[in-house]
Amino acid sequence: MSRSKSRENALKILFQMETKTEMISKETATSFIIEEGKSDAFANEIVEGVCEHITELDLKIKPHLKQWTIDRLNKMDRIVLRMATYEILFMETPDKVAVNEAINIAKTYSDDDAYKFINGVLSEIIKVKE
């Protein structure tokens, strides 16, 4: 499975987890997304990492939202930002790859211009990181 597809799986799992009125487990959300008997280690790594570091990720994202709050963001944009920020800060994914993948996901799953906003926020996070 490609890493791009794994990122989409992670997005769908995290979206499913956040959509339910009561937080559902990763295992339950994963069962909705990934076919029975198949595993997606990269998607699992992203989902577990985002869940484990969600507070820290939100703190890294928050200063770059410019008059927005994490809670006011479109749910899809919030999840894409968290996933990409996790990859940038905690994984060995090159920053450009993490940003490019986030932009591609936003173009597919979010509003028309969301990718521009996501690109701007992630670019600022990378500047602060360096």
Mean pLDDT of 13-34: 66
Per-residue pLDDT of 43-61, as tens digits, reads 889 999 999 999 999 999 9
What count of other Cβ atoms lies within 10 Å of the Cβ of residue 29? 21
Topology (CATH) of 3-129: N-utilizing Substance Protein B Homolog; Chain A (1.10.940)
Contact 105, 11 (CB under 8 A): yes
Buried b (16+ CB within 10 A) or exposed e, 66-90: eeeeeeebeebbbbbbbbbbbbbbb
φ, ψ dihedrals at 94, nearest 5°: -60, 140
| Domain extent listing, the chain | 3-129
Per-residue pLDDT of 82-102, as tens digits, reads 999 999 999 999 999 999 999
Whether the pLDDT of residue 81 is over 80: the answer is: yes
